[in-house]
Structures are given as structure tokens and as C-alpha cells.
Chains A and B, each alone.
Chain A
Amino acid sequence: MTKCCPMWIADPVGSEKQLDVLAEKGWRLTSMNFFGVCTFEESSPRHVHHRIVLEKGGVTKGASEKGWECLYQGKVFYVAATEKDLEPISYAAHKKIHSIIKMIFFLLLMAFFGYFLGMWMASIDYAKSLAELFSIGEAVVLTAMLAVIATWVHFAVGGKKMPKSDIELGGYMKTIPKENFAYDKKTERRMIKEGRMKAVLKLGWFYAPDKAEEWVEKMALDGWVFYRFDPMGSTFYFLKEDGPAKLRFAVDYQNHSSDEYYEMTKEEGWKLEFTSVTRTMGFSIWSKRWDDEDTRPEFYSDIESEYARAKRFAITFGISIGAMIPVVISIVALYLTEIGTDDTLPAMLTFLVVYALLMVEYLVFFARIMGYYLRVRKRMKK
């Protein structure tokens, strides 16, 4: 029998359950491809659990010893099954699929947004010259078509199916401990008024993570102990304690962080304070209390790994922000040369101010990223 499930990749957990159901009916999977075409052979009905794993190696030794058998081994993924009621094969592999897909949709949405913004601005500024290329009507139709496609893709794959699977894929691993939300908003406001809590907004602080670590640790020594972040990770909340406290604050950046990463770090006694909302920014922030008898806990115990982190960080953000700088500068320059030539002056001035601010912001962030990278490099060369 051949069956097609083109969207399996967006909902691996649901697809595994479908395979379980088919096995109960006596259909054993023999092959499966990325486009969702699966072939089955008739066999005796079996009560089995399936796992689709995005790894090359096939069923691991440990899994095989526990009773997992490989039903299909592809070039990039394999399908395993077991009759026993076993601990499932880790979902880390599934998360990899999800992060790749999420990244693609994020980029698609950003491209669409950028395109739409460009169209809208061009229609204000350069309506005359643009009219030579597109008519406004055509631009609107094109934009609407893109909007429909993006919305469809988002809801068909991203919005509807993914979150469901994501939770089942062990999203709990990334939850922030409840103690970080011990007080409700009202109590927090009262505490801030009474001077028992402090909220400090620091925009773009993560572009110089080492400075932020130093600052939070110094705050703890002054009796202000880190309590929580706001959902965006820009505002730091501190609680007043009676005396100085020793807190190690560690900002980590990983391109891929699996369940294992969170599990292992928690086992080492670190408390998760924050994870970035999107997987495109792999930040996680950890803290650990220590006292005089302990040595200061290190998240990176050797400078080579720390340098690797700084390099990873500088490449990812340095390129993305660095690439924006010439774009913004040229837009600002363009506005400066064109300004005051016609009656679109107010609109142009507004855009000029927005872009000039954006330019300054990008320059500052870029300088901070490079500063951080160079500081770590200097330490390594010592």
C-alpha cells in the first residue's frame, strides 16, 4: 500500500501516531521519503510505537539493546519502532526539523515584511518614478498575493500544527522556574515603590554579554539579586536582599540547543533565567548562587570554548547587523540629497529621523559585538 502525507515534516508527532494506528491495522512501514510518500506491506497487526528520527546513523546501539528496531533507514532520517512500552527515542532530532522549518518561515515572513514596507514607502516617496515600473494597482495585487501565500503557509504549517508538536517535543525543558514569577504584577509595582524591587531597562545588552554578566554580578554584591526578565529579555528585575550575595550570571549563545543542553546544565546546578523567544536567536541565560567556600562557577571552563562562543556570536550577529549598516547609511544619504526638493518634505523628514536613529543603533550594536569578540580574543592570546 502507498500512502501520502505531504505535511508529515510539520507534525512528526502526529505522523508517528498515524503510523501506530496503521500498524494496529496490520500495515508495516517499509519506506518513507521527505515528500511524505510512505509504502507499507501487509503483516500481522502489531501494537507498536514509532519514532521518526532526523539522524543519519540509524538506530543507536543503546536503543537497539532496549528493543528498538529500524523499519526504514533513509539518507537523512530513519523510522524506528518498538513493541515494548519503552522510554521514547529522544525528540532532539525532531526539534532539529522544527528549528529548520521555523527558520525558513521566519525568513519568508521577514522577506515579505521587508518587501511590503519597501512597496509602501516607495509609493509615498517615489510614486512618480515607481509608476514607471509598476502601477500602484499592480503593486497592491502583488502585495496581496504575497500576503495570502505567507498567511497560508504560516497557518497551514507554522501556526496550526507546529506549536502542538513543539509542546509534545519536550518544550517543557525550556520553561523558566515558577519562582521567577512568585509575585503578581500588582505586588511587583508595590515592591518597586517601596524600594524592595528594581526594574532596569537595558536595550541591546546582549550584544556585549560579558559586560552584562559583570553588571548583574556586581548588582548582587550590592544586595540587588537578579529575580527575572521581562518576556523580551530587555528589562532586568532585581530583588533587594539584606546583604551582598554571590551570584554567577551566564549568558550563553548556541546555534543549536537540544533538550540535552538544558537537562545537562540544570543537572550542573544552573537555574534557567531566560531563553530567546525565537530559535533564530539561540540565547539562554543561566544563574547559579555560590558562597565563599566554593570557587566561582564557570559556564565555560576553558578559554577555547569561550572563544568559540564569542566567534559564533560575532559571526551570526556581526554579519546580520554589519550588513544592515551600509544599507541604512545609503538610505540616510539618499534622503539627505533628496530632501527639500518637493512637497513630500514632512514624510521624508520622518523617514530620515527613523533611519538616522536606526543607523546609530546598528553602529552601536556592531561596536558592542566586535568589542566583546575582541575582549575574549585578547584574553585567549594571553
Chain B
Amino acid sequence: MDKLIKSYLPMTETALYILLSLGEPRHGYGISKYVAELTNDRIKLGSGTIYGTLTKMQKDGLIAVYDNTDKRTVYERTEDGAQILDREIERIKNVYENIRTVRGGA
């Protein structure tokens, strides 16, 4: 786990959104559509980026194949993935609080 934390944290925006979207089972194109919707088209994930990230995360056990009975493989987050995501959210919260302390207000 420590090794995973070291290699994934702090997370890139791409990795964060992909992991966040896999709270429920989704396939690659589904992830891309969901992230674009969530960020009002600010983040349009490229195919190469999604495929590369999914392959790496699957290898590291952050996500697992939920369904392989379709041409499109469906993935979901694993326990390890959820832990890493929680750590990252904690980190972002901490960053936000530090900014509030320095700048004051929202």
C-alpha cells in the first residue's frame, strides 16, 4: 500500500477523475463522457490517456474488471483504489484548508 501511495499521490487530475468516476462500473468511453459532463467539458480525456491510465491502475490493483462479457470492458474501483482516493481527497482538503488559513475566507 505504501508503495502505491508513493507512486499515485499527489494524483494527476486525469487519474483522480478516472478513479472518482469508477465508484460505479463504467467502460472507457463511459468514463470519458462522465468526466466531460462532471467538469462542464473542461476536461476531455483523450483515448490514449484513458487506456494508458486504466491499464496501469488495473495492474496496480486500484481498479478491477467488473464485466468482460462485452466488447467494452467494464471497470470498477477496488478497496485499494478507494483507499488511495480517500487519501487524495484528504490531501486536497488539507491544501484547501491551508489556502483558507493564508488567504482567509473562501
Contacts and interface: CB of A to CB of B under 8 A. Distances in A.
Contacts of A309: 48, 52
A90 B70 contact: yes
A238 interface: no
Given A62-B25, A305-B52, A53 B46 contact: no
A90 B47 contact: no
Interface string A194-217: 000000000000000000000000
Interface centre among A88, A263, A286 (most CB of B within 10 A): A263
Contact of A305 (B29, B32, B48, B64): B48
| Chain B contact surface mostly | mixed
Interface string B37-55: 0000001111111111101
User: For chain B, which range describes its interface: under 10, 10 to 19, 20 to 34, or 35 or more residues?
Assistant: 20 to 34
Nearest to A53: B68
Given A301-B43, A301-B45, A258 B73 contact: yes
B71 A302 contact: no
A317 interface: no
B26 to A, nearest CB: 11
Contacts of B32: 268
Contacts of A61: 66-67, 76
A305 B73 contact: no
B79 to A, nearest CB: 14
Given A60-B67, A92-B68, A309-B52, A260 B73 contact: yes
A57 B71 contact: no
Interface of B: 12-14, 25, 27-29, 32, 43-53, 55-56, 64-74, 76
Interface of A: 53, 55, 57, 60-63, 66, 68, 86-90, 92-93, 170, 173, 250, 252, 254, 256, 258-261, 263-265, 267-268, 270, 286, 295, 297-302, 304-306, 308-309
Q: What are the 6 A-B residue pairs with the smallest beta carbon separation, nearest first? A: A62-B67, A301-B46, A264-B28, A265-B47, A305-B49, A267-B29
Given A170-B71, A298-B46, A301-B45, 4 more contacts: A61-B66, A62-B67, A267-B29, A302-B14
